[in-house]
Amino acid sequence: MNKTIKINILARGSKFNWGYNFGYWSLFNFFKQELLDLGYEINFHNTLNDNFFDCDYMFVSNKFFSEAIGIRLTNKFKILKIIYSKNIDYKVIAQKIFEKNKNLIWFDQSDSAGTTQFEVLPYVKRYVKGQLYKNKELYRNNFFRNRYFSDYYQKKFDLEKNINFNFCKLDANNEDKVILGWNLGVGNFFDIINHSNYEKIICLSQIFFTQNHKKFYTYTLKNNEIKNKKFNVFFRLNERKNNDKKSIHFQRQHVGTLLKEKYNLEIFKKKMNHKKYLISLMNSKVSVGCFGWGEICYREFEATKMGTAFVYPNIDYIETWPNIFIDGITYKSYKMDFSNLHESIEYMVENNSVRSEMVYNAQYILNKIYTLEGFSYLTRFLNNLK
């Protein structure tokens, strides 16, 4: 590569902060020198100004605007009122950025594969999402609350009434702009079991004063697998008192109800800090997962790191990376109608060798992220921008 390609990334929060989006941008920091050797210069910005627009590619996170309270924006960029308004007009934002620099790469960090901002597509070079429907025809459907699974539960159980929501369908003319990025599994999960909160604070603070970023990955959550586990099933649910989005949260609530009928989960209801939570997870044979606001959640990556197998809704209709959701290989699925939920859980509880193999397979995938394999994925992604 003869010319250095300058990439500016607009995102809030520390680029290394494990607590903020679990280090969504960590790949760029971990491989910063390797990317520089290939001719990619990576810079992070937390404000929109002329310096940010001076680059070959602009990586813009949609979450910057939804969480921009307190971020100072220069007067030269006239979108302050849009950012602070209740309803964010992503199309106007993208259009104004596009006027400054045509090479806009829009990172949609929304939780679900179905929640999108396709209205920005005319103004972006690429539209990146961490989880996508394998069949892009689904993006031309009017799913309830813009989610495949919400639509399923709404039609099956008639959960909500008189709901209006906006949805921009995927235009076939812009379909090629939509590409897969990576999910929150790339994050460097801090090992709070072997390191204290004080060490975490010191570690994070020192990041701003050193160039040797790789050494901080010694603090990552270690892979664990203990033989004599205390609990058969781990399931932790925060009850929602005001559940006005019932179709989104129905799966989690209903699974909680079904599990109460068969398993003693009272211990997991107690308030616990992050360390106790991880220890409880590590001491469980099976973690039962559900969709949250979207299909990909933190706990399944935490469970994998802690050596715990997981049962999860079947998401064969989703493509994502890193992918620890390979049914029968890295996890055991259950159907969206819950008809085989107990069967799947019992199968995993009773089969030690199957659990161990699935944990090994899932850990193997996560362990490859910060190796040559992960670097190759990142460079292929960057080459796909041209």
> Is the bond preceding 322 in cis, omega lying within 30 degrees of 0?
yes
Check: CB of residue 357 under 8 Å from CB of residue 332.
no
Helix 246-260 and helix 148-157: axis angle, to 10°?
A: 70
Residue range 221-233: average pLDDT?
85
Tell me: the pLDDT tens digits for 93-132?
Answer: 899 899 999 999 999 999 999 999 999 999 999 999 999 9
Weakest mean pLDDT among 52-61, 161-170, 219-228: 219-228
Four-way CATH pick for 5-187+370-383: 3.30.1050, 3.30.1360, 3.30.420, 3.40.50: 3.40.50
- Domain residue extents for the chain: 5-187+370-383, 197-367
The confidence band for 269, taking pLDDT boundaries of 50, 70 and 90, is confident
Using CA atoms, how far apart are residues 57 and 102, in angstroms rounded to an integer?
A: 8
pLDDT at residue 45 is higher than 70? yes
Tell me: the pLDDT tens digits for 351-363?
Answer: 999 999 999 999 9
Check: CB of residue 235 under 8 Å from CB of residue 280.
no
Q: Considering the domain 197-367, what is its CATH architecture?
A: 3-Layer(aba) Sandwich (3.40)
The confidence band for 337, taking pLDDT boundaries of 50, 70 and 90, is very high
Burial (Cβ within 10 Å: 0-12, 13-18, ≥19) of residue 290: buried
Calculate the average pLDDT of the chain.
86
How confident is the model at residue 15, as a pLDDT? 46
Using CA atoms, how far apart are residues 21 and 298, in angstroms rounded to an integer?
A: 10
How confident is the model at residue 242, as a pLDDT? 64
pLDDT at residue 382 is higher than 60? yes
Using CA atoms, how far apart are residues 245 and 175, in angstroms rounded to an integer?
A: 29
The confidence band for 92, taking pLDDT boundaries of 50, 70 and 90, is confident
